[in-house]
């Protein structure tokens, strides 16, 4: 099949069908929009061949186990991936109580009376401070968030820098 045939075949996936029901134990029903696995006849044959070869079928890679073969789930809206930024963040950007900064380097989380009250960050080489009226949400990935917590003195004492020292 040439490139044109593959492209034409891919467009058939526009008629995607529900392939799995996520486990309620691992997914909040209220937060989910339509989750789908992108699959067609060839993909279903591939899955069956993998299972016949002895590979474990994993119907939900976002659940308790990430090993095995299966299809990744996507949230699809109007025929395209509808990720977290589009589905949750963009609609909230208009809120007066939300500030989103990208391209900045968080130096440390500011703590007041035992809770996060803001952050210090570098923006264009200048140290800035952002204080929160209600809460601080850290979203720096699995490694970055843990690193920021530790650099801010939050976590096991053996892993945190001495008091008064901050990040990089």
Q: The domain containing residue 26 runs over which residues?
A: 3-92
Determine, yes or no, domain membership for 154. Answer: yes
Determine, yes or no, domain membership for 155. Answer: yes
Determine, yes or no, domain membership for 164. Answer: no
- Domain end point (choices 71, 92, 113): 92
Same domain as 17, residue 55: yes
Determine, yes or no, domain membership for 16. Answer: yes
Q: What is the pLDDT of residues 12-63, one digit of tens each?
A: 333 344 444 455 565 555 444 444 556 778 888 999 999 999 999 988 887 7
Same domain as 152, residue 78: no
Same domain as 115, residue 43: no
Stated pTM of the model: 0.54
- The answer to whether the Cα torsion of 88, 89, 92, 96 is positive or negative is positive
Number of domains in the chain: 2
């Amino acid at each position: 099949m040439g490139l044109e045939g593959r492209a034409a075949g891919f467009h058939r996936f526009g008629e995607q069908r529900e392939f799995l029901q996520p486990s309620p134990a691992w997914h909040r029903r209220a937060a989910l929009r339509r989750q789908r696995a992108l699959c067609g006849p060839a993909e279903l044959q591939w899955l069956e061949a993998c299972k016949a070869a002895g590979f474990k079928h994993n119907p939900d890679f976002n659940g308790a186990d990430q090993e095995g073969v299966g299809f990744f789930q996507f949230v699809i809206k109007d025929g395209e991936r509808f990720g977290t930024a589009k589905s949750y963040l963009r609609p909230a950007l208009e809120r007066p109580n939300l500030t989103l900064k990208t391209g900045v380097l968080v130096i440390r989380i500011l703590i007041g009376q035992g809770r996060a009250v803001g952050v210090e960050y570098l923006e264009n080489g200048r140290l800035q401070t952002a204080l929160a009226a209600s809460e601080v949400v850290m979203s720096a990935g699995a490694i970055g968030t843990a690193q920021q917590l530790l650099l801010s003195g939050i976590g096991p004492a053996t892993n945190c820098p001495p008091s008064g020292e901050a990040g990089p």
